[in-house]
Structure 1
Amino acid sequence: MERLSTFIHKLPGKLSGISYFWIDTLCIPAYGKNQPELRRVAISKLRDTYANATAILVLDSWLLSSKIASRHDVDILTQIFASHWNRRLWTFQEGALAKSLYVQFADGAYDVDRGVKRLELMQDLTLEYTLKPPVFARYFSLRGFKRSARGCSMAVKLSALFAAFRHRQTSNPSDEAICLATLLELPIEEILLAPKEEKMELMWRLVTRVPRDFVFYTGDTFEQKGLRWAPRTLLRSESNYRGFEEAFAMTDMDWGDRMPWAEPTQNGLKAWLPGLIFVSIKISMAASIYLEDESGIVYRFVPTGSQREISGPRSKPESGGFCSHFYPSYGLVAFILNSEEPNMLEAGLCHQGLLVAIQKSKPEFISARKLCNGYCVRTSSDGGSGELGMLSKIEPSSRNLAGLKNPNKISSAVAARWTKRNTCWVVD
C-alpha cells in the first residue's frame, strides 16, 4: 500500500495530491462462495468506477521493470501496447474509460495521451510509414472508444469492441459477457445472475443492434435457433482471425449512426440487403456457380468456407471443396450481397456475400438459413472471349437453359432474379 501511495503522489500536477485510490484486487471480492452479492455489486459499478476516476494508473510487472528515461515515445508506446496488460480482457475498461491514462515504469509514470500527441506532431517520414500506423491503431482502438462512443449506436460500439477484443484473452470465458454488457451499458444484473454457460447467449439477446457485417460472420457461432448468427466470442481465437477477414474491417468510430446495422430478433438477424434468388438444382461444379439475372448479366459465385447442414441426411459434397453441388431439398436459394446497391457491381471485381436457403418468403421479409459465405463476380458480357467464352467451350453439353435470355452465351448458368435493394432478410 505504501508503494502504491508513493506511485500516486509522484504523479504530475494536481494528481499528486490524491489521497484515495481504488484497486481491483482489493476492492472486488474474489471468486468463490463468500460474499457473491458484494462481488456482483462491485462488478456492476465498474463502469462508473473507471469513468469517474480522476486518472487511472496501470501497473504491469514487465513495464515496471523498464525505464522511460531517454526513450522515444514510439518505443515506449510500442512496449505498452505489446504488454500483458493490453492483452487482457478486463483491462480494456481501464484504458478505454479513463479520463487520463498513466502507465507506471521503474523511473516514473508515463502519460499515454500526451505521448501519442507528441508522436502525432513529430515530422519523420520513416516513422510515418512504419511504426506510427500500428501504434495509432492500437491507441485509437483503446482510447477512442469513450470519446467516439458518445451518441453512437450500439452497432458502432460493437464494431469498435470487436476490433479491440480480438487481440485480448481471459482465463474465465464467462467474464466476456460481463465486460461487454458493462461497456455497452446493458442490464448487467441479469447477466451476473445467469449461469456461466448462458451469459454470452443472454448478452446477445439483450443487444438491440449489431453491425450489419455480423450477417456475414464465418467464425464459431451459437447453435440455438435465432442465435446462429451470433459469435460465441469476440476474443482472440482462430475463429475471429478468419471470421471477419473480408467482411468486417470497420474499426473507425467516426460512423456515428450511419453505420449499416442489423437487428437481432428471436428468429435470427434482420438486415436490409439485395439478393439474387434462384432454384437449387443438383449442379456439379467444383468451385463456382454461374447465375444469370433478368437483364442477361451473368455472375460467378465462388463459395468460401464450409457448408452448413440444415436438416436431414445428405451425401457429402464432392472432393473439391464446399459446394460442388446443391441439394434439391433446399428449394429456393439466394446469394445475399454485402452491399446496398446491386447495380454497383463492376465487372471483374469480387463482392462479398452469403449463400442462404430460403425457408419462408413473405411480402414483409424473407426468412433464410446460412449455407456458406462466398463472393460474387460480375463476368464480362461477350460470349467468345474471357471467362464466359472459356466456360462455354469447357462443358457445352451440361447446360441449364431454363429461363435464360441468351442460352448460347454460357453453359451451366442458372436463371436468377434480383430482389429489391432494401429487401428485409431474417438470417439465422
Structure 2
Amino acid sequence: MQNRFVIAMFLVIIGLFSVVSTYHLTEATEKKVYVIPVEQTVERGLEAFLERSLAEAVENHADHVILEIDTPGGAVDAASNIASIIRNTPTPVTAFVVNEALSAGAYISLNADEIAMAPGTEMGAAQVIDGSGNAAEDKVHSAWVANMMSAAELNGRNPLYAQAMADPEIDLEEYRAGKGKLLSFTASEAYEVGYAEYLVDNREELLIELGLEEANVQELEVSFSEHIARFVTHPVVIPILLSVGSLGIVLELYSPGFGVPGIMGISALLLFFFGHLIAGFAGMEAMVLFVVGMILLIIELFVPGFGIFGVLGIGSMIGSMILASYSTIHIVVSILIAAVITIVVAMMMFKTFGMKGPMKRLVLTESLTTKEGFVSHETKENIVGKRGKAVTPLRPSGTIMIGKERLDAVSEGDYIREGEQIEIIAVEGARTIVRALVEKNK
C-alpha cells in the first residue's frame, strides 16, 4: 500500500514537471510582437507614450515592434526626440503607414529599421513651418532638411527624396513635385524608390512578410491618463489652460464666497500639472512649489497692501510652471499670453462692476467725508467777527486770546504788537486771520 502511494506521488511530480517544462519551452520559443499606434499630432505627450511603450517592449523581450503610423505631423522637437528613442531601441522596429505619414510622421518613419505601407497611403510633405503656418527661418529649415537626409541615409535610402520632402526648391517633376512643391510618395512610389520595404494590405500580411505570423501580438494603447497628457501638453492647449486658470481666479475675487469661477480656474491649473506629470515633464517639486505659491497669495489677501507674500506667491507659481514645462520659451510665451488676457479682463471687470467679493480687501473703498461726521480738523467759522488781543507779537503769525481761549493766528499782513486789540476777520481751514483794531480806527 505504501509503495503504491510513493509511485503515485512520483508520477504526479513527473507530470507537473512535464507541464511546467512544456509551458516554459513554449513561452521561450514563442515570438512576441508589440504593435504601438502613432496617431494624431506629434507632440511631447506622444513622445512620452512611445518612450514608455518601447521601454516596455524591450523589457518584455519583444522580438519585433510595429509602429502603426497615421499622423499629419507636429512639433519638430518632439519628432526629433521620438526618432532618437527609436534609433536607440535594440529591438527591430518597422514603421507601418496605415493612412498618412506626413511631415514629422515621415521623419519618424525614416528612422525605423524598415517601412511598410498600405495601398492608398502617403508619406512626405515634411517642410518645417513656424507657429504662423509660414516656412521657418533658414537656420531651422536647413537643420531640418539635414535631419531628414540623415534619417534616409541611416537605412541606405537615397537622401535626395528625403531632401525633396522637406525642401520645395528640389525639383522632382516625375513624382508630382516640381520646383516650389514638396515631395509626397504614394505607397507604390515609395516601394519603387526603396522608401518602403513592404506593400501590404493589413497587419496580418505584414506579419507574414516579417516571418512573424505565429507570433504573440501585443497591442499597446494610449491610457486615459496619457490621452489627457497628450491633450494638455499640446502647444495650443497650454496657453488656453493657463488663461482659463488665471481668469477663473480673478473672477473668483469678484465673487462672494467660492463658486464656479474658482473651481474652473483651479481645475485648469491642476489639469496643466497633471498632464505634464503623467507625460514625465513635471516632478512633485513643481506641484509643491505651485501649492506654496497659492498659499502665499491667499495670505496676501489678508495682509494690507501688496507686499512680500504677493510677490513670492506669483514668483512661486510662475517658477512651478517653468519647472513643469518641456520648453522654457513656450511656457514663458504662454504665461505672457495668459497674463495679458487676465489683465484686460480684470480691468473690464473693475470698470463694469467695481470692487466686489474678496477684491475689496485689496483696495480701500471707504471715504471719510464730513457728511458721515468725519472732519480732519475742528472748524471755527463761528468765531469770525470776535475780538480779543494779541498775546504775542504777530510777525505775521503768533498767539491771540479770545475770551479765555488761546488761538494760533496770523495777521492779514501787518505787524501786530503784543497786547494790541485784534479782530478775527476770516477762518480758512485751520488758519485764523486777524487784523489790528487800532489800524481799523485810524
In the superposition, the TM-score normalised over structure 2's length comes to: 0.21
TM-score (norm. length: structure 1) = 0.21
Q: Rg larger in 1 or in 2? A: 2
